[in-house]
Amino acid sequence: MATASISLIREQTERVRPPRALWVPFPLGRPLGIPGDTNFQLDVLRATLGMLSTATEPVIEDYPIEAPGAGPEVWACPLTIEVESDESLAGRLLQEVARLRPWATETRRRRGRTLFGLSGAGPDQVDDVATMLASVAESGNVTDQLTTDIKWAHPMPFLLRHLAEDLRSFYHEAIASQPGDIPPNHDALNKWIFGETVLGEVLLTIGEHLTIAGKTDPKVGIVRNLMIPEGL
């Protein structure tokens, strides 16, 4: 049976690799755009279903139009996280995770599920994942397998991408519990994570290490491109 889907988070869709997916630049929870705009929603559905006749192999296509009023500027309640600046990178990241945990826990309770765990870590091992990522950022070693009690689901350096995705999922869960009528869209989330959080600092630092290592090992460079949004 031929299928087509709508994607709100490109990284997750790239990981799942469905036969056909239309990525839409809309806020999380609103795959068809703003409620009540019937014509706009029908256009999104037509674009999605149209892929059934145009896509002959697995593909992710971009929907070219922002939903009316759904740009990054409509994030109703941005989240500012204060951490101690004199802590180590790992210490600051763990502080940040601790401040987000009540929000993420509420989203998990409400949804009855979590997207965290693609790395092989359990839902309650967020601190372990944060510690591993911070240790890689501080050491610069992006190829040696990480030593821990967790049975990782992927080898290095590909594990780094999934560790990053797990923490991004955790941060997305925290944001989903924030008050406000309209949640942030994909671009706004990236802008927040990479511009205002310790996690973004950690990921960009790892990205620099991957860029250097990628000069002699092409697969390492691929991981960098999968972890860091284009343009950063």
Look at the block and give the residue holding tokens 């990479």. Answer: 194
Calculate mean pLDDT across residues 224-228.
Answer: 88
Least confident residue range of 17-21, 70-74, 212-216, 221-225: 70-74
* pLDDT tens, position by position, 101-149: 988 898 898 888 998 999 999 999 999 999 999 999 999 999 998 888 8
Around 85, how many Cα atoms within 13 Å sit in the side-chain half-sphere? 0
Predicted local confidence at residue 74, as pLDDT? 46
| Residue found by looking up tokens 């990522």 in the block | 133
DSSP annotation of 66: P
What are the pLDDT digits (tens) for 55-68?
778 889 888 787 76
Q: For 138-161, what is the mean pLDDT?
A: 92
Quote helix, strand, coil % in the chain, to nearest 5.
50, 5, 45
| 145 vs 105: CA distance, rounded Å | 30
Predicted TM-score of the model (pTM) = 0.67
CA atoms within 13 A on the CB side of 56: 0
Any idea where the domains of the chain sit in the sequence?
5-70, 89-227
User: How many Å apart are CA 28 and CA 130, to the nearest integer?
Assistant: 24
Give start and end residues of each alpha helix (H) in 5-155. 10-16, 38-54, 89-111, 126-139
In Å, how far from its chain's centre is CA 228? 10
- Helices 198-213 and 89-111: angle between axes, nearest 10 degrees: 110
- In sequence order, what E strands does the chain have? 5-7, 20-23, 59-62
pLDDT for position 185: 66
